[in-house]
Amino acid sequence: MSKLGSIGARLHRGEISYDFIGKRKIWYGVSILITITAILGLAVRGLNMSIDFQGGAVFTTPTNMSTSIAQAESYAKDASGHEAVVQKLGNGSLRIQVAGLDTAKSDQVKESLAKDLKLNPEKLAADLVGPSWGQEIANKAWEGLAIFMVLVVIYLAIAFEWRMAVAALVALIHDITITTGIYALVGFEVSPGTIIGLLTILGYSLYDTVVVFDSLKEQTKDITKQTRFTYSEIANRSINGTLVRSINTTVVALLPVAGLLFIGGGFLGAGDLNDISLSLFVGLAAGAYSSIFIATPLVADLKEREPAMKALTKRIMAKRAQAASEDGPVTAGGDDAEDAAPAVVGPRNQPSSRGRGRGRQAGKRR
């Protein structure tokens, strides 16, 4: 841990850095590949919408049932004529969901299931769910998402600038697409809990992005008045300066969510926890990734297209070329290499060659 803290401090001071911006095409390619995979999963497999959105009946057995999930699915299909989703809960009871049932049909299925499961019909709990309730939740969620996106863009455009607002919006869409694609590929049910999880991760994803943007805004004040660093290099410094902080907050947030997903939903059989925990887990990881590898590099790309930034980059490159020609060949690890390398952001020592000849008459050497 002390070594990690030391690395974090050196990253923050600019003594070491990783060239995230310089390798942005790699990150863009990785994100495009993941996004295409998620979209294909949505198109081919689709989302497994829970009964809350389709309507139907949910039957819950008493505890410690010896019937297997496969047997219960077979019994439910024979009784209803529809495919059933069966979950074994932590107390040993079975939760049987059958979509497309009305009240009359639900009573018939309950009697048949109780007979197959060798239960008293009174001990088999049945709940009827109407599709209008789930549809209302979905519509409200889409409305909330749209309003959230608009407010985010407006706020970031005012607090920072429109380029950062666009980059943050792209990162949010990236995170939502990947999360929903994972749901399609894994086959987990999309329930109201999933919607809650999706809306929750948006704020967290934006948090990491805003932290980097705030550092970038502070460091690029009066950027055109200096000729040491380009906008992309300062953006790289901002990412490196907040990198360990982003990693630490993401890991701390992922640990309890992983407990819900893998222990609660996996080992303990609390299947209802999968709905919200998977969206949180994937969304938190995707949000940390997008804030580092997507949002800030995209801002740098947009800013470098400005005429003022192009002129600044041209002046910096000309100055470095001149310094390299005056000081001779650049050797690896030498003082001149620090001036010439665009990604190095640590403290710079004045090259000793530049101090030679000071105080002497022009043209004379000793």
pLDDT over threshold 90, residue 81: no
Chain CA centroid to CA 188, Å = 19
pLDDT tens per residue, range 208-256: 888 889 989 988 888 988 888 999 999 998 888 888 888 888 888 888 8
Residue 183 · residue 278 · CB < 8 Å: yes
Q: Look up the domain containing 77 and give its range.
A: 56-129
- CATH (domain of 218): 1.20.1640.10
Residues whose CB falls within 8 Å of the CB of residue 136, separated by 6 or more in sequence, listed in order? none
Domain count, the chain: 2
pLDDT over threshold 70, residue 352: no
pLDDT tens per residue, range 249-260: 888 888 888 887
| Whether residue 248 is found in the same domain as residue 147 | yes
pLDDT tens per residue, range 293-320: 999 999 999 999 999 999 999 999 998 8
pLDDT tens per residue, range 140-175: 878 888 888 888 889 999 989 999 999 999 999 999
pLDDT tens per residue, range 97-134: 888 777 778 888 888 888 888 888 888 888 877 766 66
pLDDT computed for residue 200 by the predictor: 81
Contacts 24+ apart (CB under 8 A), 136-140: 137/52, 137/53, 137/192, 137/195, 138/53, 138/195
Residue 351 inside a domain? The answer is no
pLDDT computed for residue 365 by the predictor: 45
pLDDT computed for residue 252 by the predictor: 87
Residue 314 inside a domain? The answer is no
Bridge partners (DSSP) of residue 293 are none
The two three-digit tokens of residue 186, written as one number: 């894994």
Report the SS3 class of residue 302: helix
| Whether residue 8 is found in the same domain as residue 72 | no
pLDDT computed for residue 347 by the predictor: 43
Provide the pLDDT confidence category of residue 63 given band limits of 50, 70 and 90.
Answer: confident
Please state the rounded mean pLDDT for residues 16-44. 90
Provide the pLDDT confidence category of residue 9 given band limits of 50, 70 and 90.
Answer: low
Could you give the CA distance from residue 235 to residue 233 in angstroms, rounded to a whole number? 5
Q: Which of 129, 162, 190 is the last residue of a domain?
A: 129
The two three-digit tokens of residue 283, written as one number: 């969304």
Residue 339 inside a domain? The answer is no
Q: Backbone dihedral region of 351: left (phi > 0), alpha (psi from -120 to 50 degrees) or beta?
A: beta
Please state the rounded mean pLDDT for residues 34-54. 86
| Whether residue 61 is found in the same domain as residue 33 | no
The residue with greater pLDDT, 95 or 231, is 231
User: What mean pLDDT value characterizes the chain?
Assistant: 79
| Whether residue 147 is found in the same domain as residue 196 | yes
Residue 72 inside a domain? The answer is yes
For 140, other C-beta atoms within 10 Å of its C-beta total 11
What is the strand order of the sheet 56-60 is part of? 84-88, 94-99, 56-60, 125-129
**Cα angle at 239 between 246 and 217, to 5 degrees?**
110
The residue with greater pLDDT, 34 or 13, is 34
**Cα angle at 175 between 272 and 26, to 5 degrees?**
135
